[in-house]
Amino acid sequence: MRLLLAMALLAGCEPTGGNGGEGDPIVEIGTGEYEFEAITEGQELQVIQGPQGGFHVLGSMRSQGLVAGDRDDLANADNPTVTFDVVIDGTSYILFEQGESTAEYTQGLDPSQEADEGWSHEMTGRLVKLDIVEDDEVADLDATVSVTVADVEGDSASDSVEVLLVPHPFNEGALGR
Protein backbone atom coordinates (compact mmCIF):
# COMPACT_ATOMS: atom_id res chain seq x y z
CA MET A 1 0.00 0.00 0.00
CA ARG A 2 2.81 2.44 0.87
CA LEU A 3 4.50 1.64 -2.43
CA LEU A 4 1.31 2.45 -4.35
CA LEU A 5 0.92 5.72 -2.45
CA ALA A 6 4.54 6.68 -3.15
CA MET A 7 4.11 5.85 -6.85
CA ALA A 8 0.94 7.93 -7.03
CA LEU A 9 2.68 10.90 -5.40
CA LEU A 10 5.66 10.63 -7.74
CA ALA A 11 3.41 10.39 -10.78
CA GLY A 12 2.05 13.84 -9.96
CA CYS A 13 5.51 15.43 -9.72
CA GLU A 14 6.81 17.37 -12.69
CA PRO A 15 10.37 16.45 -13.66
CA THR A 16 12.85 19.31 -13.23
CA GLY A 17 15.38 18.25 -15.84
CA GLY A 18 18.64 16.52 -15.11
CA ASN A 19 20.69 14.63 -17.60
CA GLY A 20 19.58 11.20 -16.44
CA GLY A 21 22.71 9.64 -17.90
CA GLU A 22 21.80 10.88 -21.38
CA GLY A 23 25.06 12.44 -22.56
CA ASP A 24 26.81 15.53 -21.30
CA PRO A 25 24.88 18.63 -20.24
CA ILE A 26 25.25 21.61 -22.59
CA VAL A 27 24.40 25.31 -22.56
CA GLU A 28 24.44 28.03 -25.19
CA ILE A 29 25.09 31.69 -24.42
CA GLY A 30 22.75 34.22 -25.96
CA THR A 31 21.14 37.59 -25.55
CA GLY A 32 17.61 38.89 -25.91
CA GLU A 33 15.28 40.68 -23.57
CA TYR A 34 12.15 38.53 -23.86
CA GLU A 35 13.29 35.51 -25.85
CA PHE A 36 16.59 33.74 -26.47
CA GLU A 37 18.66 35.17 -29.32
CA ALA A 38 21.81 33.28 -30.30
CA ILE A 39 25.09 35.21 -30.44
CA THR A 40 27.55 34.48 -33.25
CA GLU A 41 31.33 35.02 -33.23
CA GLY A 42 32.19 38.66 -33.88
CA GLN A 43 28.61 39.86 -33.50
CA GLU A 44 27.99 43.32 -32.07
CA LEU A 45 26.56 43.25 -28.55
CA GLN A 46 24.99 46.45 -27.27
CA VAL A 47 26.06 47.99 -23.97
CA ILE A 48 22.87 49.47 -22.54
CA GLN A 49 22.66 52.39 -20.12
CA GLY A 50 20.10 51.65 -17.42
CA PRO A 51 17.69 54.18 -15.91
CA GLN A 52 19.93 54.63 -12.86
CA GLY A 53 23.00 55.39 -14.99
CA GLY A 54 24.76 52.01 -14.84
CA PHE A 55 25.60 49.90 -17.88
CA HIS A 56 24.79 46.30 -18.77
CA VAL A 57 24.45 43.79 -21.57
CA LEU A 58 21.55 41.36 -21.80
CA GLY A 59 22.45 37.77 -20.98
CA SER A 60 20.38 34.75 -21.94
CA MET A 61 21.10 31.02 -22.06
CA ARG A 62 19.48 27.76 -23.02
CA SER A 63 20.36 24.31 -21.77
CA GLN A 64 19.79 20.60 -21.88
CA GLY A 65 20.77 17.87 -19.46
CA LEU A 66 20.81 20.02 -16.32
CA VAL A 67 18.42 20.08 -13.36
CA ALA A 68 16.18 23.09 -13.99
CA GLY A 69 14.93 23.64 -10.44
CA ASP A 70 11.64 25.40 -9.72
CA ARG A 71 11.10 28.67 -11.59
CA ASP A 72 8.20 29.56 -9.26
CA ASP A 73 10.26 29.27 -6.05
CA LEU A 74 13.46 31.33 -5.80
CA ALA A 75 14.32 29.65 -2.48
CA ASN A 76 14.09 26.10 -3.86
CA ALA A 77 17.28 24.20 -3.02
CA ASP A 78 17.14 22.44 -6.42
CA ASN A 79 17.61 25.68 -8.39
CA PRO A 80 20.74 25.91 -10.56
CA THR A 81 23.22 28.79 -10.47
CA VAL A 82 23.74 30.67 -13.74
CA THR A 83 26.84 32.88 -13.91
CA PHE A 84 27.53 35.31 -16.75
CA ASP A 85 30.86 37.05 -17.42
CA VAL A 86 32.24 39.68 -19.80
CA VAL A 87 36.04 39.58 -20.18
CA ILE A 88 38.23 42.06 -22.07
CA ASP A 89 41.97 41.41 -22.34
CA GLY A 90 41.85 38.91 -19.48
CA THR A 91 39.93 41.21 -17.10
CA SER A 92 36.35 40.61 -15.99
CA TYR A 93 34.12 43.67 -16.27
CA ILE A 94 31.33 42.32 -14.05
CA LEU A 95 30.09 44.72 -11.38
CA PHE A 96 30.31 43.52 -7.78
CA GLU A 97 28.05 45.05 -5.15
CA GLN A 98 28.75 44.38 -1.47
CA GLY A 99 31.23 41.71 -2.52
CA GLU A 100 28.65 39.80 -4.61
CA SER A 101 28.61 39.38 -8.39
CA THR A 102 25.65 41.09 -10.03
CA ALA A 103 25.81 38.55 -12.87
CA GLU A 104 25.06 35.39 -10.88
CA TYR A 105 21.50 34.09 -10.67
CA THR A 106 20.33 31.14 -8.56
CA GLN A 107 16.81 30.40 -9.69
CA GLY A 108 14.77 27.86 -11.61
CA LEU A 109 14.87 27.84 -15.40
CA ASP A 110 11.94 28.32 -17.77
CA PRO A 111 10.93 25.62 -20.26
CA SER A 112 12.69 26.32 -23.56
CA GLN A 113 10.85 27.92 -26.45
CA GLU A 114 13.22 25.87 -28.64
CA ALA A 115 12.21 22.42 -27.37
CA ASP A 116 11.86 21.24 -30.96
CA GLU A 117 15.61 21.90 -31.37
CA GLY A 118 16.49 19.77 -28.34
CA TRP A 119 16.80 22.54 -25.75
CA SER A 120 14.93 21.82 -22.54
CA HIS A 121 15.28 25.02 -20.47
CA GLU A 122 16.31 28.65 -20.74
CA MET A 123 16.86 31.91 -18.90
CA THR A 124 16.36 35.15 -20.84
CA GLY A 125 16.92 38.85 -20.44
CA ARG A 126 19.15 38.94 -17.37
CA LEU A 127 21.07 42.14 -16.66
CA VAL A 128 24.80 41.50 -16.82
CA LYS A 129 25.97 44.68 -15.07
CA LEU A 130 29.33 46.08 -16.11
CA ASP A 131 31.83 47.80 -13.82
CA ILE A 132 32.23 50.93 -15.99
CA VAL A 133 31.33 54.60 -15.62
CA GLU A 134 30.77 55.35 -19.33
CA ASP A 135 30.08 53.07 -22.26
CA ASP A 136 33.01 54.47 -24.22
CA GLU A 137 35.31 52.59 -21.77
CA VAL A 138 34.40 49.37 -23.61
CA ALA A 139 33.04 50.70 -26.91
CA ASP A 140 34.34 48.90 -29.98
CA LEU A 141 36.39 46.46 -27.91
CA ASP A 142 36.41 42.69 -28.42
CA ALA A 143 35.08 40.81 -25.41
CA THR A 144 34.46 37.22 -24.42
CA VAL A 145 30.92 36.80 -23.12
CA SER A 146 30.35 33.57 -21.23
CA VAL A 147 27.86 31.63 -19.14
CA THR A 148 28.29 28.73 -16.73
CA VAL A 149 25.35 26.78 -15.32
CA ALA A 150 25.84 24.53 -12.28
CA ASP A 151 23.00 22.33 -11.00
CA VAL A 152 22.36 20.63 -7.65
CA GLU A 153 23.55 17.24 -8.92
CA GLY A 154 27.05 18.64 -9.49
CA ASP A 155 26.67 18.82 -13.27
CA SER A 156 27.72 21.98 -15.06
CA ALA A 157 28.21 23.32 -18.55
CA SER A 158 29.71 26.48 -20.02
CA ASP A 159 29.69 28.38 -23.28
CA SER A 160 31.42 31.52 -24.52
CA VAL A 161 31.58 33.66 -27.63
CA GLU A 162 33.73 36.56 -28.82
CA VAL A 163 31.71 39.74 -29.49
CA LEU A 164 32.28 43.40 -30.31
CA LEU A 165 30.84 45.67 -27.62
CA VAL A 166 29.02 48.74 -28.97
CA PRO A 167 27.03 51.44 -27.18
CA HIS A 168 23.25 51.26 -27.48
CA PRO A 169 22.10 54.14 -29.71
CA PHE A 170 19.87 55.55 -26.94
CA ASN A 171 22.64 55.81 -24.32
CA GLU A 172 23.22 59.37 -23.05
CA GLY A 173 26.45 61.30 -23.30
CA ALA A 174 28.82 58.63 -24.55
CA LEU A 175 30.89 59.04 -27.71
CA GLY A 176 29.56 62.54 -28.33
CA ARG A 177 25.88 61.54 -28.50
> What's the rounded Cα separation, in Å, for the pair 73 and 136?
39
pLDDT in tens, 24-80: 999 999 999 999 999 999 999 999 999 889 999 999 999 999 999 999 999 999 999
Residue 96 in any domain: the answer is: yes
Domain limits for position 96:
18-169
pLDDT of residue 117: 87
pLDDT of residue 11: 36
Residue 6 in any domain: the answer is: no
Residue 7 in any domain: the answer is: no
Overall domain count for the chain: 1
Residue 177 in any domain: the answer is: no
pLDDT in tens, 84-114: 999 999 999 999 999 999 999 999 999 998 8
Residue 88 in any domain: the answer is: yes
Residue 1 in any domain: the answer is: no
Residue 152 in any domain: the answer is: yes
Is residue 21 predicted with pLDDT exceeding 70? no
pLDDT of residue 6: 35
Residue 175 in any domain: the answer is: no
Which domain CATH number covers 41?
2.60.40.60
> What's the rounded Cα separation, in Å, for the pair 38 and 160?
11
Query: Above pLDDT 70, what percent of the chain?
Result: 84
Residue scoring higher pLDDT (11 or 51): 51
pLDDT of residue 13: 35
